[in-house]
């Protein structure tokens, strides 16, 4: 975790240094050439360093140790950093769109000197290289903030490139496409800004577990000899490297409490060592032998599994003392009236088990 944050901070410092050097270069050229436009563009480069500063602050704050109010740490601060940077990108796109529409409604002929075009070209190359580097680092480190910061630099380069292309067309053919081209690129940037906002917001709201991770966890836990099924996998994300969750496993009812304790310890240790996941393991008992519990389990599970609208059946429990049984089902995503389905299934099972109290619990965590 610490090494990851160090890489994020180092990459952000490279972004800051690049923008500051580029701003210094533009300022020097602008002052020597008495060009207000180049000097103002230099100021813009200093403001571009803001996204890298935000990333560093977010990475630093996310390293704060857990406390009583925040027992799982501050890892989610990174998502807020990414949201702020995405808003900056979105604002850039909207501002660019407004300016482009103004140029469409009231076209103006841009004026560029050879020096200006050279400075702009250098800025484009620097921004493209910087943006690609920062974004690639963000993807490797799974940092939404770095990805957004890199995208911010890339979009700055694209906007400037569009200006350069427009200037070239104006000089060669005396045709101004500054407004329409700017508007088109602005729409692309706005769309990208919205997409960048979606990722950290979804992380904060809680997204589904990636299929690859689900299958890997199920496979690893299923490899334990005592495990005969893995269900109800739930993971809560408290930052890019902190996940806390739970799952259930099927074991034979002949296992002792001591053996079950040992199994759950081995599962939790494995998932923490391999994935950094703090997991709680629940137990479902599979009825074995020739007895009433095993007979009811077979009847009920087969009856429910026959329904096409049910994806999975698990967690069977029977209490002879209380004259009741319960079972968990996972309905198909196309089932919209779960209450009606549950009631229908309860009535069906009651006919099979006489006057026994029946409870069917709807579960939405489908683990193959």
pTM to 2 decimals? 0.73
Q: What is the DSSP letter of 355?
A: T
What pLDDT, in 10s, does the model give residues 224-250? Answer: 999 999 999 999 888 877 889 999 999
pLDDT at 35: 53
CA 330 centroid distance within chain: 25
Tell me the pLDDT band of 318, cut-offs 50, 70 and 90.
Answer: very high
Tell me the pLDDT band of 149, cut-offs 50, 70 and 90.
Answer: confident
Count of positions (residues) in the chain: 368
Q: What percent of the chain has pLDDT over 90?
A: 37
Q: Considering the chain, what is the average pLDDT of its residues?
A: 86
Q: What is the DSSP letter of 235?
A: E
Q: What is the DSSP letter of 289?
A: S
Other C-beta atoms lying within 10 Å of the C-beta of residue 93: 22
Residue 192 has, within 13 A of its CA and on its CB side, a CA count of 23
Tell me how far apart the alpha carbons of residues 331 and 324 are, in angstroms, rounded to a whole number: 22
- Phi/psi region, residue 34 (left: phi>0; alpha: psi -120 to 50; beta: rest), is left
DSSP 3-state of 71: coil
What pLDDT, in 10s, does the model give residues 94-120? Answer: 988 888 888 788 876 656 667 777 877
pLDDT at 355: 77
DSSP 3-state of 252: strand
Tell me how far apart the alpha carbons of residues 189 and 153 are, in angstroms, rounded to a whole number: 12
Q: What is the DSSP letter of 279?
A: E
| Inter-CA distances, 250 with 221, 226, 246, 295, Å | 11, 8, 14, 17
Find, among 169, 262, 182, 270, the residue nearest to 221 by Cα. 270
- Phi/psi region, residue 362 (left: phi>0; alpha: psi -120 to 50; beta: rest), is beta
What pLDDT, in 10s, does the model give residues 283-309? Answer: 999 999 888 899 999 999 999 999 999
What pLDDT, in 10s, does the model give residues 48-75? Answer: 788 889 989 998 998 888 888 888 888 8
Q: Is the pLDDT of residue 366 over 70?
A: no
Q: Is the pLDDT of residue 36 over 60?
A: no
What pLDDT, in 10s, does the model give residues 173-186? Answer: 777 776 787 788 88
- Phi/psi region, residue 127 (left: phi>0; alpha: psi -120 to 50; beta: rest), is alpha
pLDDT at 1: 54
Tell me how far apart the alpha carbons of residues 210 and 120 are, in angstroms, rounded to a whole number: 42
Q: Which helix (H) or strand (E) holds 365?
A: none
Tell me the pLDDT band of 161, cut-offs 50, 70 and 90.
Answer: confident
Q: Is the pLDDT of residue 124 over 80?
A: yes
Q: Please, is 251 exposed, middle or buried when counting C-beta atoms within 10 Å of its C-beta (0-12, 13-18, 19+)? A: buried
Tell me the pLDDT band of 221, cut-offs 50, 70 and 90.
Answer: very high
Other C-beta atoms lying within 10 Å of the C-beta of residue 321: 5
* CA–CA–CA angle 260, 363, 264 (5° rounding): 15
Can you read off the two tokens belonging to residue 247? 């799952």
Please give the residue that has the higher pLDDT: either 265 or 19. Answer: 265
Q: Is the pLDDT of residue 253 over 90?
A: yes
Encode 192-205: b = buried (16+ Cβ within 10 Å), e = exposed.
Answer: bbeebbebbeebee
């Amino acid at each position: 975790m610490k090494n990851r944050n160090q890489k994020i901070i180092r990459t952000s410092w490279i972004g800051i240094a690049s923008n500051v050097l580029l701003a210094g270069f533009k300022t020097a050229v602008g002052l020597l050439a008495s060009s207000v436009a180049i000097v103002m563009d230099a100021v813009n480069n200093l403001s571009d360093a803001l996204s890298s500063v935000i990333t560093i602050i977010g990475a630093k704050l996310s390293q704060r140790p857990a406390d009583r109010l925040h027992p799982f740490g501050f890892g989610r601060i990174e998502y807020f950093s990414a949201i702020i940077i995405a808003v900056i990108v979105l604002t850039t796109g909207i501002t660019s769109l407004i300016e482009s529409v103004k140029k469409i409604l009231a076209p103006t002929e841009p004026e560029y000197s050879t020096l200006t075009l050279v400075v702009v070209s250098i800025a484009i190359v620097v921004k493209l290289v910087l943006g690609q580097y920062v974004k690639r680092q963000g993807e490797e480190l799974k940092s939404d903030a770095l990805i957004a910061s890199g995208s911010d630099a890339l979009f700055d380069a694209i906007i400037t490139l569009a200006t350069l292309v427009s200037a070239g067309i104006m000089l060669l053919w005396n045709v101004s496409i500054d407004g329409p081209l700017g508007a088109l690129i602005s729409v692309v940037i706005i769309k990208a800004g919205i997409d960048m906002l979606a990722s950290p917001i979804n992380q904060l709201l809680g997204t589904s577990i990636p299929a690859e991770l689900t299958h890997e966890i199920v496979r690893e836990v299923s490899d334990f000899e005592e495990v005969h099924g893995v269900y109800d996998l739930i993971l809560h994300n408290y930052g890019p490297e902190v996940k806390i969750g739970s799952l259930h496993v099927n074991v034979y009812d002949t296992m002792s409490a001591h053996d079950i304790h040992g199994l759950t310890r081995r599962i939790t240790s494995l998932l923490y060592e391999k994935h950094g996941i703090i997991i709680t393991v629940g137990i479902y008992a599979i009825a074995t032998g020739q007895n009433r519990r095993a007979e009811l389990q077979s009847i009920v599970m087969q009856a429910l599994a026959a329904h096409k609208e049910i994806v999975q059946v698990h967690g069977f429990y029977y209490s002879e003392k209380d004259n009741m049984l319960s079972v968990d089902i996972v309905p198909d995503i196309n089932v919209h009236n779960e209450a009606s389905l549950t009631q229908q299934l309860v009535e069906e099972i009651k006919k099979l088990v006489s006057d026994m109290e029946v409870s069917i619990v709807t579960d939405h965590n489908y683990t193959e």
